[in-house]
Amino acid sequence: MYDKFSFVLGVFLFGVFAYIMCRYPNDFFYTFYKTFIPILIFIRFVDYKPKKLHYFLTDFCYWAGFMVILFVGFFPKNEYLYRVAFLYANGALAVATGAFNNAMIFH
């Protein structure tokens, strides 16, 4: 039941994310992103901590996401941070997604 719930919630949130990104690209998207993503990471930490899997949150993809949140939420005019966040997201993570045949799995 947990897998079904997480799948439906993941598809719903993906749709909400795409709608907000397309409908309000310069207004509400940044606020949505910088508040929603830390909440999801906190929920994952609460889920991982009792299972002793919380060290998986130190993976490179979380640091890249942290850099994007730092740029979007706090330093939107910083060109250096923009380049770092862009290269992290479109460099190593994009290559790893293709190389290791990763897919979007909601559960």
pLDDT tens readout for residues 84-97 = 989 888 888 778 77
pLDDT tens readout for residues 31-82 = 888 888 888 889 889 988 999 988 888 888 888 888 888 998 889 899 999 9
Closest CA relative to residue 105, chosen from 5, 10, 4:
10
How far from 69 is each of 13, 23, 37, CA to CA, in Å? 18, 20, 8
